[in-house]
Amino acid sequence: MRFALYLDIVNHYDINVLAFHNNCDIYFIINIYSNSNQTTLYFLCQNIINLDNTIIITGDFNIRDSD
């Protein structure tokens, strides 16, 4: 199994795409951080990230409940 950080899939400093290769298959893990201004969430709304074999999308979205 081999891991790689893909910087060319998403061009945003708060989105990391990590891939791991298992024989001939490739799987993606996407980590997202959004600051208090939620700039990353706005970026994601404007840019569709479509990766086959994405198994985990995780992150800190800094979304607060209004209550």
Annotated domain spans of the chain: 2-57
Q: Would you place residue 64 in the very low, low, confident or very high pLDDT band (cuts 50, 70, 90)?
A: low
Q: What is the pTM of this model?
A: 0.74
The predicted-structure confidence for 3-44, as pLDDT tens digits, reads as follows 898 888 888 888 999 999 888 889 999 898 877 788 888 888
Return the DSSP state at 63.
-
Greatest alpha-carbon span in the chain: 49
Residue 61 has pLDDT above 70, yes or no: no
Cβ burial of 43 (10 Å; 0-12, 13-18, 19+) is middle
Round to whole Å and give the CA distance between 27 and 20. 5
Per-residue pLDDT, averaged over 50-58, amounts to 83
